[in-house]
Structure 1
Amino acid sequence: MIMLNIADALTEQGMADIDIAHIYDFLTHYVYDDNSPDLTALLRTNAAYRGFRCPFKELPQCRGWEPGFSNRYFTEDIPLGLCIYKVVADIVNVATPTIDKVIIWAQSHMGKENILNATLSGRDVIETSALQRFGIHCVEQL
């Protein structure tokens, strides 16, 4: 839904020629038939996710497990994915509370700082593909 909100805001703020016809919400994008499963069933049964495992590592002294924060699902998907959505949403004034929570949670475990004071302005933004690294700060520059 956030991508639809961002696309709508972009068209409202001067990018009327942008083609948003191919932007769908998650379930619409990944459900291929009329037997639309719920999200859990989708993740379990969709061929695109077959074999996908979330990398965990065992904690010392049999204290359980935690996500492997050095895995590419964190080291790539946060700075090269969520941070880009966040900065474009910020440019068009679309709130991203869930994205913010995920980035803040992940960065706290990864020893990174991307979000600072509710904006993508932390010391490690230089390691992301955030648009401001390339001098883009407003819709007109897009």
Structure 2
Amino acid sequence: MSDILIARQLSPFSLHWQEPLATQLRFQYELPGQLANRLLNVELGLFLLAELLPMAPPQALPNLLNGEGAVYGDRPVWKPRQHRYLNRARALLAPYQDRAVWLTALAKYDSLPTSLRAFCEHSAGSCGSEVSRSNLRNREELFRKALA
């Protein structure tokens, strides 16, 4: 592995990609502990699915991250950017390769108020007007940068 790749994987951004948005959400909604970080992790997984397998159910994320299952095997031909997204997501969302961990996180995400979630019914922006367009844009930009 090249020195550049190692440096990129170990950069502070890769470990704290959620900032400063996680801190902003934490204060804006008075969220306890790491809830904002967990929220953004789940949303990153849902964003990845929307980008790579838009017709797949949210439960398919572990199969996508592990390169398994029919949903992965039947995937369309991806562009290089989409392959990079998947490789980066495998590092950032490693705990979600475990199906039980992902399903638990997804259930907790679904229990949050819709005013907090960018994904309802697991499609971006479907929460109506409760999440502002600027907040949706900020999150989408954050997810794209994290996976770039």
Structure number with the bigger relative contact order (C-alpha 8 A, sep ≥ 6) is 2
Q: Which has the higher Rg, Structure 1 or Structure 2?
A: 1
Larger strand fraction of residues: 1
Q: Which bracket does the TM-score occupy, shorter chain normalised?
A: 0.3 to 0.5
